[in-house]
């Protein structure tokens, strides 16, 4: 019996690979991880296309009650579906390691994720530095990690992909505007002259989808831009090659 980790891609039910679809169809249980990214279509669309009932897997199930998934995989085929690629979050690696401890066979079926689709803006993928996340501040929790990562990448001439916080349980998804305002707040606090209203960045929404939106402009203009429904992300360019500069003109 097998536990399949299956990436769904970024847009709709048809983004699954042929190999992934075959695995889902021969699975007895199909779980959909629903807290690290955002599905662009109703779950019912997946169920209709896959011909399977889908069980929602929230953070509590995957991180604290993983045995509800793993115990089924001891004598049945189980699919664990992830929007994007399967290893975009540490929590999925943890599930795999727990499965190994229980001697459960695991197979990996990958797909597109925002990490590689970010190259569609016209920046060279191998010139991206460390990816970071901009998170919603909470009481006693307002990290400067994203600011520090951008600073480090900039120092090395590298681009920074900033993933924006998702709290799907609360139906709360960070926008480009919110992310930029949080970076500006950190600039005011830390004063490293990293980002201001005239800094050029790339705001993105729904990368990998037909209705994607990409805008390359200065921060003060992007703060006025409506990027529509989530998920959103921000890319802070490093040193630009002339071909990258030419490509970015498509999004001005």
pLDDT digits (tens, 9 = 90+) for 126-181: 999 999 999 999 988 989 999 999 999 999 999 999 999 999 888 899 999 999 99
CA 58 → CA 37, 66, 97, 130, 162, distances in Å? 11, 10, 18, 27, 23
In this structure, are residues 149 and 130 in contact, taking their beta carbons and an 8 Å threshold?
A: yes
| pLDDT (average), residues 9-26 | 97
Average pLDDT value for residue range 206-234: 97
Distance (Å, whole) CA 92 – CA 98: 10
**Quick one: average pLDDT of 75-103?**
95
Question: In the CATH scheme, what is the code of domain 115-251?
Answer: 3.30.950.10
pTM assigned to the model: 0.94
Q: What is the pLDDT of residues 58-72, one digit of tens each?
A: 999 999 999 999 999
Residue 220: how many other CB atoms lie within 10 Å: 13
Residue owning tokens 């679809």:
21
Q: For residue 69, what are the CA distances in angstroms to 121, 169, 222?
A: 37, 20, 42
Report whether 200 contacts 218 (CB < 8 A): yes
Model confidence at 88, pLDDT cuts 50, 70, 90, reads confident
CATH fold group of domain 2-112: Cobalt-precorrin-4 Transmethylase; domain 1 (3.40.1010)
Q: Which 8-state DSSP code applies to residue 240?
A: P
The CA-based diameter of the chain, rounded to the nearest angstrom, is 59
- What are the extents of the domains in the chain? 2-112, 115-251
The pLDDT value given to residue 53: 98
**What average pLDDT does range 32-41 have in this prediction?**
92
CB of 127 closer than 8 Å to CB of 99: no
Q: Give the pLDDT confidence score for residue 169 in this predicted structure.
A: 83
DSSP 171-182: TEE--HHHHHHH
Contact 150, 237 (CB under 8 A): no
pLDDT at 250: 98
Instruction: Tell me: pLDDT of 198 over 90.
Output: yes
pLDDT at 114: 96
Q: Which helix (DSSP H) or strand (DSSP E) does residue 122 occupy?
A: none
Q: Please report the pLDDT score of residue 79 as a whole number.
A: 98
User: Which pLDDT value is given to residue 89?
Assistant: 82
pLDDT at residue 82 in the model: 97
| Alpha-carbon separation of residue 11 from 48, 82, 139 (angstroms) | 16, 12, 34
Task: Find the range with the poorest average confidence among 83-97, 112-126, 228-242.
Answer: 83-97
- Are 235 and 212 in contact by the 8 Å Cβ rule? The answer is no
Residue-averaged pLDDT of the chain: 96
pLDDT at 133 (0 to 100): 96
180 Cβ partners below 8 Å, 6+ apart? 201, 203, 219, 222, 223, 234
pLDDT at 14: 97
* Strand, helix or coil for residue 79: strand
């Amino acid at each position: 019996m097998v536990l399949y980790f299956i990436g769904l891609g970024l847009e709709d039910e048809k983004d699954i690979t042929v190999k992934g679809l075959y695995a889902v169809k021969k699975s007895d249980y199909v779980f959909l991880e629903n807290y690290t990214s955002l599905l662009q279509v109703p779950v019912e669309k997946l169920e209709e296309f896959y011909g399977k009932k889908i069980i929602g897997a929230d953070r509590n199930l995957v991180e604290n009650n993983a045995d509800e998934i793993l115990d089924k995989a001891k004598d049945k085929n189980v699919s664990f579906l992830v929007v994007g690629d399967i290893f975009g979050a540490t929590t999925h690696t943890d599930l795999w390691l727990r499965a190994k401890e229980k001697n459960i066979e695991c197979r990996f079926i990958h797909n597109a994720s925002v990490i590689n689709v970010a190259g569609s803006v016209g920046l060279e993928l191998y010139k991206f530095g460390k990816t970071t996340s901009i998170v919603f501040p909470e009481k006693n929790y307002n990290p400067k990690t994203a600011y520090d990562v951008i600073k480090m990448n900039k120092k090395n001439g590298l681009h920074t992909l900033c993933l924006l916080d998702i709290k799907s349980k609360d139906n709360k998804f960070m926008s480009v505007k919110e992310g930029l305002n949080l970076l500006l707040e950190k600039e005011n606090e830390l004063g490293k002259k990293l980002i201001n209203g005239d800094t050029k960045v790339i705001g993105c929404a729904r990368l990998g989808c037909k209705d994607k939106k990409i805008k390359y402009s200065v921060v003060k203009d992007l703060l006025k831009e409506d990027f529509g429904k989530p998920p959103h992300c921000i890319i802070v360019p490093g040193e630009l090659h002339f071909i990258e500069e030419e490509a970015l003109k498509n999004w001005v």
